[in-house]
């Protein structure tokens, strides 16, 4: 049975909208730390077959899992849009900024020492190598003139 037209039942609710998952920045920080610990405790395992003197063997290869904002959001059971709303919410911006910097630093440091693919991480972090020339050579003669 549908509610009668023109009803005002919504006015008797004690609150409107979904209750926030994180009511304080401390709760968000604690949950993010749980995510970081989960990632550290659960590396990615790949298997490689190696031919040895006794035949083929399977070697486990352990790979450190990078921290990601997407992974954090899945772990926290929120969307990335919700995380952005928390970042813009008063009191949460500093915690979100710290979380973002931890994620960025772990990726950057891992790529620097070769743990992660540096090309993929550079693209993910928006890093670019700029090569710019102030010399405008329009003809072969211009290039020869510069060499003199």
Q: Does residue 146 sit within a domain?
A: no
Residue 147 lies in a domain: no
Range scoring the smallest mean pLDDT among 2-6, 14-18, 85-89: 14-18
Confirm whether 97 is domain-assigned.
yes
CATH, residue 94: 1.10.132.80
Is residue 54 domain-resident?
A: yes
Domain count, the chain: 1
For residues 138-145, give the mean pLDDT.
Answer: 62
d(CA 148, CA 58): 62
SS3 of the chain: helix, strand, coil, percent, to 5: 50, 10, 40
**DSSP letter (8 states) at residue 66:** P
pLDDT confidence tier of residue 58, bands split at 50, 70 and 90:
confident
Q: Whole-prediction pTM value?
A: 0.68
- Residue 137 domain-assigned? no
**Rg of the chain over CA atoms, in angstroms?**
26
Average pLDDT of 47-74? 86
Token digits of residue 3: 């509610």
Decide if 145 is inside a domain. no
Tokens standing for residue 142: 């211009």
The predicted structure's pLDDT at residue 108: 86
- Cβ atoms 125, 107 nearer than 8 A: yes
pLDDT in tens, 85-128: 999 998 999 999 999 999 999 988 888 888 887 888 888 777 77
What value does the mean pLDDT of the chain take? 81
In a domain, 37, yes or no: yes
In a domain, residue 16? The reply is: no
Any idea which residue has 């040895």 for tokens?
A: 52
Domain that holds residue 28: 23-125
């Amino acid at each position: 049975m549908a509610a009668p037209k023109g009803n005002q039942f919504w006015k008797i609710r004690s609150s409107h909208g979904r209750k926030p998952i994180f009511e304080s920045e401390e709760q968000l920080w604690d949950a993010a730390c749980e995510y970081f610990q989960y990632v550290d405790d659960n590396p990615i395992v790949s298997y490689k077959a190696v031919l040895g003197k006794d035949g083929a063997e399977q070697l486990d290869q352990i790979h450190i899992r990078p921290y990601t904002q997407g992974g954090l959001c899945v772990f926290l059971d929120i969307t990335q849009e919700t995380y952005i709303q928390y970042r813009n919410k008063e009191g949460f911006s500093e915690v979100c900024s710290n979380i973002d910097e931890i994620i960025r630093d772990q990726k950057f440091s891992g790529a620097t020492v070769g743990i992660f693919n540096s090309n993929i991480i550079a693209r993910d972090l928006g890093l670019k190598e700029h090569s710019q020339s102030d010399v405008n050579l329009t003809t072969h003669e211009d290039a020869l003139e510069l060499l003199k």
